[in-house]
Chains A and B, each alone.
Chain A
Amino acid sequence: MLRKEQNDLLTQTGPGTAMGDFFRCYWIPALLAEELRENDCPPVRVKLLGERMIAFRDSEGRYGLIDEFCAHRGVSLWFGRNEHGGIRCPYHGWKYDFTGQCVEVPSEPVESGFCQKIKLTGYPLVKVGDVLWTYMGPAEHKPPLPEWEFARVPAEQSFTSKRLQECNWLQAMEGGIDSSHVSWLHSGNLNSDPLFKGARGNQYNMTDKRPVFEVVDSDGGLYIGARRNAEEGHYYWRITPWVMPCFTMVPPRGDHPIHGHFWIPIDDENCWTWSFDYHPVRALTDKERQAMKDGKGIHVAYVPGTYRPRANKDNDYLVDREAQKKGISYSGVEGIAMQDASLQESMGPIVDRTKENLVSTDNGIIMARHRLLRAAKALRERGIRPPGIDPVHQRVRSAAIVLPVDQPYKTAASDAMVAVPGKAQVSV
């Protein structure tokens, strides 16, 4: 359980809040690059950390992420004309460049310099991989660009998607470090999902359904190791890294691509769940890429024209009680992503953690909250920049490995947990 004030601190990310300041220390995923496909394409509404913005790509290919509303009369620039190096409000023609600087106020004489006094809040928007990343913190603390491996491998080796999740970011993210739910909620998928099936490691999962967990501090966050019995004198370890504030990777299975997530607050009651799959040393096959587009693995199928999952709260997640009864899916909801999201959304927009009853296997969650609280407090009170900003913390990998019983995974699998370009993942 958490006390109410702790829960409030961790779940509120708007401007001026402790956790809001914390998120504003990092480059965070803002849009998929496909959302601003070409120069002068239509602008896109973006809400992140409780701030409404408009994203656009100008005539020279520069990305802008600026306050959604025109400084003149408050019109949404979603209706704006993206043309000739800026976005123009259609109401009275005020025009802004990609930094939010007003560059034209047609009603005022150019010589007056009036437009130079008008500037909308603007944040940098930079393409790394398939993702447009933004940094919403003070310019003087802007960290180096993201180094996450999925965004740095060649395009043909990576696939990224995002989906709307209609609950607070923290309860969604906690699902990513709560490895003990996998044996239950996703038990129907290991041998059927094209992006999971066939791995030798799956057999260990199926034969030992009571994993034992080890949680270890790391410089950037945590490692959560789940061990199961393997051959005589050996354990099968599945190691999940969590890097602050909201990055996790799922341990790999066989030669399937590795996958992971970010959970980025839209506001306090909604977040974007970002999901990526990549292979460190080979291109994704057409079959794999198609499966991801079709919503297999950790991805979802969408309501056409949106990033809202096709199975969502408005259609009761297309729950199939017959499939639940037959054991095709454990909860009756199809697909790993929506199995998670449906349950996390069912908790309500912001779960009341004063009422929960955690048990010892929830230590990954307890430790993550503890690290977040401690780091947010250190930032607020002493200005200490939090873990996860340093590119070294971002060069992590999940791993699935068989080790002798007396070896601690943090040291025995230390090489496996570091992303090295051109080196294959360690997977069983």
Chain B
Amino acid sequence: MQPGRSESAIMTGAEQARFRINRPNSRPRTTCVIALDERSAAALATLKDRPWNGAQFLRYAGARRASDQLPSLRIDAVLQDEAGNKLSLMQALTGVDSLIMLTAGDAAAEAAEMIGNACVARGIAATGLVLAPAAGGEALGRIVAAMRPHTTMLVVSSGEDYIAEMLSALRA
């Protein structure tokens, strides 16, 4: 330590920066991205060939009902991967650290509720990314209202280019 200089003054300088530990400070996290409608699925499809850190890209295909007699009792969601393979929401959430729901329409309310509830039950942070519709206004208001109860972070973006930017920033 140099006499007369505080620890903060010394340690925040460029000279000391070279002693910062330069090994990875995190392990890869598993991010699951689910497109809830056609437009968001199309936007997601354009990203699948980029290099990601294990992010899974899925789309919501529908709800699995308890039985034909109990159609309103939804017990799971059916998802679809890029190759068209079907899997259940419960399977998809296994080992997931962070989940992102992507939507551009208010038809996504049912899916958001099912996925959001499943995330709450498993302690998974659920983020909603809303691609603002060209119409904006009321349509956007309905989408945001549908997503709000089921996400811990909600983002409204006017550009699809934000999807990749956000995923990259989150190390997805």
Residues of A within 8 A of B (CB): 1-2, 166-167, 212-217, 313-317, 342, 345-346, 348-349, 352, 355, 357-363, 366-367, 369-370, 374, 405-408, 410-411
Tell me the complex Cα distance, A367–B157, Å: 9
B26 touches A (CB below 8 Å): yes
**Residues of chain A lying within 8 A (CB to CB) of residue B127:** 360, 363
B6 touches A (CB below 8 Å): yes
Which chain B residues numbered 112 to 133 have a C-beta less than 8 Å away from chain A?
125, 127, 132
Residue of B nearest to A345 (CB): B12
Residues of B within 8 A of A (CB): 5-9, 11-14, 17, 20, 25-26, 98, 100, 125, 127, 132, 137, 140-141, 144-145, 148-149, 151-159, 161-162, 165-166, 168-171
Judge whether B152 and A361 touch: CB under 8 Å: yes
Task: With A315-B6, A346-B8, A407-B141 given, name 12 new contacts (CB 8 A).
Answer: A212-B152, A214-B153, A314-B6, A317-B8, A355-B25, A363-B127, A363-B153, A366-B170, A367-B157, A405-B149, A408-B140, A408-B141
Tell me the complex Cα distance, A215–B25, Å: 28
**Residues of chain A lying within 8 A (CB to CB) of residue B140:** 408
Judge whether A363 and B155 touch: CB under 8 Å: yes
Judge whether A411 and B141 touch: CB under 8 Å: yes
Provide a sorted-by-A list of 12 A–B residue pairs whose CB atoms are within 8 angstroms: A166-B12, A213-B154, A214-B155, A313-B12, A345-B12, A346-B12, A348-B14, A349-B12, A349-B14, A352-B20, A360-B98, A362-B169
CB distance from B30 to the nearest CB of A (A): 14
Judge whether B170 and A358 touch: CB under 8 Å: yes
Judge whether A217 and B168 touch: CB under 8 Å: no
Residue of A nearest to B158 (CB): A217
CB distance from A266 to the nearest CB of B (A): 16
Judge whether A348 and B169 touch: CB under 8 Å: no
Contacts known (A1-B171, A360-B170); A366 close to B25, Cβ less than 8 A: no
**Residues of chain A lying within 8 A (CB to CB) of residue B166:** 363, 366-367, 370
Residue in A2, A317, A357 whose beta carbon sits within 8 Å of that of B26 in the complex: A357
Judge whether A217 and B137 touch: CB under 8 Å: no
